[in-house]
Structure 1
Amino acid sequence: MISCREVIGLPSLAKLNIVAGRSGLDRLVRWVHFIDLPDVIPWVQGGELLIITGIGLNGDLDKLKDIVKGLIRKNLAGLIVNIGPYIKEIPAEVVSLAEQARFPIFELPWEVKIIEVTREICSHIVMKQTEERSIKDFLEQLLLFPLADPEVLIQRAAYFGYDLAKPHQVAILSPDLLNEFLQSKKVKDEKSLVAFKARFENIVRDTLRFDGRNVLQMQLADDIVLIMPYENQNAGGRKNSDILLVVFDRLAAEIPGLAVAAALGGKFESLHDARKSYLQATQVLRCFSKLKAAANPIYEYEKLGIYKLLFEIGSDKLALYYQEVIEPLNEYDRKNQMDLVNSLFVYFEEKCNAAKTAKRLFVHRNTLDYRLRKIEEITSRSLDDPYDRLTLQLGVIVGRQIANDIFSFD
């Protein structure tokens, strides 16, 4: 679907003037209708951009206010009023009503032919839907399946105006706790859910376009998947993480209360590695959405540090490592109702500061010292030895991640 913001950018609508509801220009236009009945409300369903001349009002402009109330109630995209002999101007009280509801109302000069307006809007909607389906099909081939002929895909991308011969990276934007958010907004039917997802996607697309970014985009389940150009920061290019923060700000303003996280896969210069970047972004998002490990909602594969290395090793080898290093401590905990593994994890999180660790665990310092000595005894590793300490630290990290099933690609 297209937004009202896109509609006012169409060539034949250059004379269209918005008089109310500018803050609602992101409303989505499902279709455009020209209806001039005295009561149009029973004939609209929601999502339409309605055009009227006012001939059905018989000069009674008070009815226009009632019509606008009804259109707002039925959640139309907006209203275009053909200014002329029947409605010479939009009454101030109608403008005020639309402003409060963020409902766009436009004035269209009488000399502009309505048939041309409806034809161009409908043609643009059909063209946009066709283009979005083609791009989604293209991205699914690129990211979800083994790549057969990269040159063909590069040519297809060029057809849509994208240069995939340059470095890119995959980004995924994912709404957090979406079901709870939808319930709070009383979104209960499939039609409302589709409209919400379309609005979410359009806000992302419009923000990136406003920022001057040429980005391939598709909706996959609840998420938005992007292929973003990887700019050379040394040459003054902006980081994609900074651009996504702009998108987050816009989403926060347009859809208050919706929490969104994002992940960036690694840079790829060959289309053969595009799927790898997508899988990296998917895995990073799954990892940190479960662990809630950072306040910043944008997670970058290239900045994962030790986690990046662990992702590359593979779940089978990591499981063996965990069994060898940490499982003996787990067995001791189970048999003796102790808390050695968690104590060791907290000890490392507190940078091996025993006083802070004891305070956080709510235990006496002597109790913690006993646990640490027991850990050394069971594992035959010294916490004073840098190599042994690193071995144990990696063990507890791997254990936490295996518990969350994040070290495997689907």
Structure 2
Amino acid sequence: MKVTELLTLPALAGMNVIAGETGTDREVYTVNMMDAPDIIHFLKPNELLVTTAYHVKDKPHLLSSLVEAMANQGCAALGIKTGRFLTEIPEAVLVLANELSLPIIDLPHELSLGEIINYTLRGILDQRAAELAFAMETHKQFTDLIMRGKGIEKLLDHLSEMIGYRILLVDQYLKPLSRPISTSGIIPIIKKMRGAGFRFNKTKASSFSFTSLTNQQTYTIFPIYMDEKKFGYLTIAGEVKSSDNLLTLTIEQATNVISFALMKEHALKQHDRNIRNDFFLHFLDGNFSSQEEITNRAKEFSLRNEQAYICAVGKIDGPESTKSYTQLQRQADSIFQSLEDELHLSPHPIHLFTKGKKCILLYEVNEVSADVLQYVEASLKSLQKITASQFGCTISFGISTRSPSFLQTKNSYKEANDSLIEGGLAKKTEYIQSFRTKDIMELLRIIPEEDLKNFYFFALQGFSKIITEEEQSLLQTLSVYLETHCQISETAKRLFVHRNTVVYRLEKCEELLGKSLKDPETTLQIRLALRIKSLLNG
């Protein structure tokens, strides 16, 4: 109850402010009586102190110390029964009260201090009871809107009408959670703040305000908590003073209902996300019995088999040894949920799944072109920027080639994952690695060296029976012969030898191998063995 409201109580008629009128908007939470000179040590904020001034009747100048102490302590007002023990209040005290905006009230003679205290407390309690009833009714209205399925948008519209301010609901990353109707003035501010990397700190304060230098508009923020790490802010285009109890109560009841509604909505989204994710992981693991079952299930999640896709696989950069598995998984889940919310804003469908500490994105595309690939890379770069600004870490992606159907995205996932691994082997971070087909030498490098040696000696074991010089001559002839597509004349020309010499050497090779060089399987083994030889010697 404010001092001005206290003065309007019928039971306290006759109370007049004689100084400090500019402070009559101070809140009165409780009342105290001055029954000892050391009352200064027992003063509390928002307290109304009433006295007969008996203890200062002989030293009225002590009232100045009392007024100054009350102002410093944040007291509400000082009520004095003038004419009882104190004929008049010194002018210096009145001047000080005006300077400090601490109201001094002349108490009516016909009321005892006990009656004044009782009437004041009764007025405060009656007001609190009225505010509580109002809060319960307001909470019921907001709850009914949600229970009837009207949604958070209707609740915000209703709240905006009640308080007379435009409203926008944003998450902790300043992304709008409600449609920006009638809030066009807020959206540019939010975007600029996001672009500058501004983040509200999660505090326990009920609300706080700030003024935008762009449009000189004051905004009041009310935090909305959904769980330990996920929260949002109700942004109101106007200044809501904490002293305006009814307005603050109305908004707080709305934030409570919105909080529960968002928690429910988040739980339902998480449930749907888990079902969709389980399907895709089972698909990658080959746990379905038929393609028809896969395509039918995929349709439930808006994944059409006839649609073409490009797959991207992402992973958080950085060493994993600094955090536990649980910490890493929680971090990944938070980042991937935020990225999924961001992807929903894309004009083109993008499906996100998670597999451990990796995320899998399926971009719906129509054809392979430079524009399509640029679009995918631009989207991934945007996700990298969001991850860095919101979470303080980096993320890298591997991209596949185009998959003509959903059933073939299993191969696309492998391509994207291989690309991600390839970029990681180069010790890069925050990279986007596109898939490229490996040549035969790259594939051979993947095979353990011992296995390569075993294959080489198996394919060319007959050559171990001859001396090194002859072995080199025969293998060189055999290599050129295979490179020239088995053309004897061309082989002789490249080796600068007679044609009959080439024929003799090839016959010698067949004798050592015990196989015909006209056999495709034999020539394939020899080609691979010769590549392995150059790899091992290199």
Q: Return the TM-score normalized by structure 1.
A: 0.51
Question: How much does 1:238 deviate?
Answer: 4.4
The separation in 1 between residues aligned to 2:441 and 2:360, in whole angstroms, is: 21
Residue 304 and residue 398 in structure 1: after superposition, are their counterparts in 2 closer, same or farther (change >3 A)? farther
- 1:46 matched residue in structure 2: none
Contact 2:314–2:397 under 8 Å retained in 1: yes
The separation in 2 between residues aligned to 1:377 and 1:208, in whole angstroms, is: 60
Q: What is the identity, as a one-letter code, of the residue corresponding to 2:352?
A: Q
- 1:251 matched residue in structure 2: 387
Q: Summarize deviations over 1:227-251 as a string: whole Å, max 9, x none.
A: 2223414595344344323333333
Contact 1:168–1:228 under 8 Å retained in 2: yes
Contact 1:143–1:275 under 8 Å retained in 2: yes
* Bigger relative CO (Cα 8 Å, ≥ 6 apart): 1
Residue 227 and residue 150 in structure 1: after superposition, are their counterparts in 2 closer, same or farther (change >3 A)? farther
Contact 2:309–2:404 under 8 Å retained in 1: yes
> Please, which moves more after superposition, 279-288 or 164-173?
279-288
Contact 1:201–1:224 under 8 Å retained in 2: yes
Q: What is the identity, as a one-letter code, of the residue corresponding to 1:274?
A: T
Aligned ranges for residues 183-262 of structure 1 at < 5 Å? 183=322, 190=326, 192-234=327-369, 237-239=372-374, 240-258=376-394, 260-262=395-397
Q: Summarize deviations over 1:304-324 as a string: whole Å, max 9, x none.
A: 35269949xx969x9458842
Question: How much does 1:262 deviate?
Answer: 2.0
Please state if 1:304 is matched with 2:437. Answer: yes
Question: How much does 1:212 deviate?
Answer: 2.8
Say which SS state the counterpart of residue 363 (structure 2) adopts.
Answer: strand
Correspondence for 1:136 among 264, 277, 286: 277
- 1:172 matched residue in structure 2: 313
Please state if 1:125 is matched with 2:125. Answer: no
Residue 145 and residue 249 in structure 1: after superposition, are their counterparts in 2 closer, same or farther (change >3 A)? same
Q: What is the identity, as a one-letter code, of the residue corresponding to 2:242?
A: Y
Correspondence for 1:277 among 412, 419, 426: 412
Correspondence for 1:9 among 171, 177, 200: 177
Residue 160 and residue 273 in structure 1: after superposition, are their counterparts in 2 closer, same or farther (change >3 A)? closer
The structure with the larger Rg is 2
Say which SS state the counterpart of residue 174 (structure 1) adopts.
Answer: strand
Contact 2:423–2:431 under 8 Å retained in 1: no
Structure 1 stretches lacking a partner, 5+ long: 30-39, 42-49, 55-66, 90-106, 329-372, 401-410
Give aligned pairs, total: 291
Please state if 1:324 is matched with 2:456. Answer: yes
Contact 1:7–1:121 under 8 Å retained in 2: no
The separation in 2 between residues aligned to 1:15 and 1:294, in whole angstroms, is: 43
Residue 169 and residue 238 in structure 1: after superposition, are their counterparts in 2 closer, same or farther (change >3 A)? closer
Contact 1:172–1:226 under 8 Å retained in 2: yes
Aligned ranges for residues 6-405 of structure 1 at < 5 Å? 8-10=176-178, 22-23=193-194, 52=206, 77-78=231-232, 80=234, 84=240, 86=242, 110=251, 113-179=254-320, 183=322, 190=326, 192-234=327-369, 237-239=372-374, 240-258=376-394, 260-290=395-425, 292=426, 297-301=431-435, 303-306=436-439, 310=443, 319=451, 323-324=455-456, 377=472, 380-381=475-476, 387=483, 394-395=531-532
Say which SS state the counterpart of residue 312 (structure 2) adopts.
Answer: strand
Q: What is the identity, as a one-letter code, of the residue corresponding to 2:397?
A: A
Contact 1:4–1:77 under 8 Å retained in 2: yes
Contact 1:263–1:298 under 8 Å retained in 2: yes
The separation in 2 between residues aligned to 1:133 and 1:162, in whole angstroms, is: 16
Residue 205 and residue 379 in structure 1: after superposition, are their counterparts in 2 closer, same or farther (change >3 A)? farther
Structure 2 stretches lacking a partner, 5+ long: 1-169, 209-221, 461-467, 485-526
The separation in 2 between residues aligned to 1:293 and 1:4, in whole angstroms, is: 33
Question: How much does 1:208 deviate?
Answer: 3.1
Contact 2:340–2:352 under 8 Å retained in 1: yes
The CA RMSD over aligned residues, in Å, is 5.6
Question: How much does 1:154 deviate?
Answer: 3.7
